[in-house]
Structure 1
Amino acid sequence: MPEIIQIDDIHQAQALLGTNDEHITLVENAFGVIIHARGQEVAVKGQKVEDVTAAESVLRNLLKVIEKGESIAVKDVQAAIKMAKNGTINHLIDLYDEAITKDAYGKTIRPKTMGQRMYIHAMKQHDLVFGIGPAGTGKTFLAVVYAAKALRAGEVKRIVLTRPAVEAGESLGFLPGDLKEKVDPYLRPLYDGLHTVLGVEQTTRFIERGVIEIAPLAYMRGRTLDDAFVILDEAQNTTQAQMKMFLTRLGFGSKMVVTGDRTQIDLPKGVKSGLVEAEQRLKGIKGLSIQHLDQADVVRHPLVGRIITRYEEEA
């Protein structure tokens, strides 16, 4: 007997099925079942009871997410399938309830896509997290927001933000002004998250007191960073030696997040990116997590999305 899922709302049924039934096709392929959808009724059939049960649980839990008013994409379905296979599917809905913290005005900050949710979850669970993906996926902003939340909650004593200053040469020696003036233009993206959570005034006070430290990567050499939340941004522009140096700064009570975009490497020709090499070398090591964000995690204003679609249609 097939398992039957009744859906109250036709729009929710359409959201569950996906564009051209792409969501149910993923579930069919994952569990070797056949899914028939007619109107607001979805039937799951298969040779093995356990496969039918698993597929049904994926669909029912995704439907709960949709009923909460959340939209789902392919990555959400893939995550649900993975959770069903490791026995945690009933916790899927919890990911969508997850709030990171409140901003300086009391508004709740939440991850907006499944990739972002998995990224935040990885920060909670691991001492070292790599966030790899294109611009606009929120990898840097979310890392800084989570660091500010950890500082505010007393989980760490300070935040250290760094990135390789490839554009000006790592030494920055020929630039005028003090260190802050030299480094600021390269770290501007990191300030956005701090200002969002802490506000401009508190961020400034923390920087003046050394609670938040902002420095080029070269200044990390020879240090061990205890009780700190350390973020390395633009990590695709580190050399292998720089990446090893940075990762070995991890101290007790600390967390590290390494963010980067493999498609935006500005290193001299023939120099291998430390991010690319670390991703290959460190995969599978206990205590760290490598999270990949993609175009599905790019959060745009809905109007921007419609404008881009129109340009692509007419191209």
Structure 2
Amino acid sequence: MNTGILTEAILEFPDNRLLIDLCGEYDRNLTDIEARTGVQILRRGNQLALHGPAEAQEAAREVLNALYQRLEQGRSVGRGDIDREFRLAPEEQEPGDQLEMFSGGKVEIKTRKKLIEPRTDAQKAYVRALFENELAFGIGPAGTGKTYLAVAVGVNLFITGQVDKIILSRPAVEAGEKLGYLPGDMKDKVDPYMQPLYDALNDFLPGKQLAKMMEEKTIEIAPLAFMRGRTLSNAFVVLDEAQNATSMQMKMFLTRLGEGSRMVITGDRSQVDLPRGVQSGLQDAERLLSHIDKISFNYFTSADVVRHPLVAKIIEAYEKDAERGA
């Protein structure tokens, strides 16, 4: 069969109001799907006519039907949802899964403000690992959702009563000796380096609730150095930018894990800011812990970048340049 022959396929949608949402404002959702598949999509009443090669039509049909089902479930459809449908392989039923958010093979994270759904297979596997392991590593380039998804899982476990607090940490390596020259107290000095963690929390929790939780110390955001001497029990703990932790700092952090806690370490091996000759604690942890049961390692590539499409191309260009120089 020659899939290059142009044909027409008709999709019919019973609810015209949902069809309007499916098409998007000024049909921008249809435009996105057309750009990805090469299929021309025309609306006729409560029908969509697909013009193009049969294989491309089938891809567009699957995405349109999946998005319409989202709308029937009372969910919204945006560019991120379209992106996810194209990236993810078809859902597989996985009977016996004990986690409610995985029912029917779907992976979802419920927070106070929104429902988070992984957009790539690697993100999906990562979220599963976060729920299923007490210690998990997420390693890969910027923009792949490593920290964002980890914080979302932490908020989910907190609001469902599975942990009592959320602790988010980062090495303040970028500041170095310049910290002392910044105005304000220590919190004022380190807050700029913690801002990505605040941004993620603001996406998942209402402002007043977040402020109250931080005041009550049920959510803590602190530099890695502040973790020394603590035992972190019944907490969801995230170490972000872990490539900038030294081997001693990483060992110190990992041994803070207390009863009833879960720990996530995220990092990007290509963005080490440690002084020359200082070994990254993230690399040491990979080498020493990868064979231990119940410790998961999930890896991301530029294909998992969910920021602006140019970010993935930028990362790929730098990766190729590094390979040529190796």
Task: Give the TM bin, normalised by the shorter chain.
Answer: 0.5 to 0.7
Classify 1:305/1:99 alpha carbon distance in 2 versus 1 (closer, same or farther; 3 Å).
same
Q: Give me the whole-angstrom Cα distance separating, in 2, the residues matched to 1:176 and 1:265.
A: 26
- 1:97-176 equivalences under 5 Å are 97-104=106-113, 107-169=114-176, 172=179, 175-176=182-183
Determine helix, strand or coil for the equivalent of 1:122.
Answer: helix
Deviation by residue 1:117-175 (Cα, 9 ceiling, x = unmatched):
11100011000110101111011111111111111111111111111100223895554
Determine helix, strand or coil for the equivalent of 1:269.
Answer: coil
Does 2:85 correspond to 1:71?
yes
Determine helix, strand or coil for the equivalent of 1:251.
Answer: coil
Which residues of structure 1 form unaligned runs of 5+?
A: 1-8, 20-37, 41-62, 81-88
Shift in Å, 1:66: 9.3
Q: Give me the whole-angstrom Cα distance separating, in 2, the residues matched to 1:186 and 1:307.
A: 24
TM-score of the superposition, structure 2-length normalised?
Answer: 0.65
Does 2:293 correspond to 1:260?
no
AA aligned opposite 1:206: M
Q: Give me the whole-angstrom Cα distance separating, in 1, the residues matched to 2:226 and 2:108.
A: 34
AA aligned opposite 1:198: L
Shift in Å, 1:103: 4.4
Classify 1:307/1:196 alpha carbon distance in 2 versus 1 (closer, same or farther; 3 Å).
closer
Determine helix, strand or coil for the equivalent of 1:291.
Answer: strand
Q: Give me the whole-angstrom Cα distance separating, in 2, the residues matched to 1:225 and 1:248.
A: 9
TM-score of the superposition, structure 1-length normalised?
Answer: 0.67
Number of residue-to-residue matches in the alignment: 243
Determine helix, strand or coil for the equivalent of 1:91.
Answer: coil
Determine helix, strand or coil for the equivalent of 2:174.
Answer: helix
Match of 1:91 among 85, 94, 104: 94
The two structures, once aligned, show a CA RMSD in angstroms of 3.5
Asked if structure 2 preserves the Cα contact closer than 8 Å seen for 1:66 and 1:72, the reply is no
Shift in Å, 1:307: 11
Shift in Å, 1:180: 2.1
Q: Give me the whole-angstrom Cα distance separating, in 2, the residues matched to 1:154 and 1:307.
A: 37
Deviation by residue 1:71-96 (Cα, 9 ceiling, x = unmatched):
355x849xx9xxxxxxxx64299686
Classify 1:183/1:250 alpha carbon distance in 2 versus 1 (closer, same or farther; 3 Å).
same
Does 2:286 correspond to 1:279?
yes
Same amino acid, percent of matched pairs: 49
Q: Give me the whole-angstrom Cα distance separating, in 1, the residues matched to 2:211 and 2:189.
A: 17
Classify 1:150/1:94 alpha carbon distance in 2 versus 1 (closer, same or farther; 3 Å).
closer
Q: Give me the whole-angstrom Cα distance separating, in 2, the residues matched to 1:127 and 1:307.
A: 30
AA aligned opposite 1:212: I
Shift in Å, 1:284: 2.0
Determine helix, strand or coil for the equivalent of 2:210.
Answer: helix
AA aligned opposite 1:71: E
Match of 2:303 among 292, 296, 301: 296
Q: Give me the whole-angstrom Cα distance separating, in 1, the residues matched to 2:311 and 2:184.
A: 44
AA aligned opposite 1:101: K
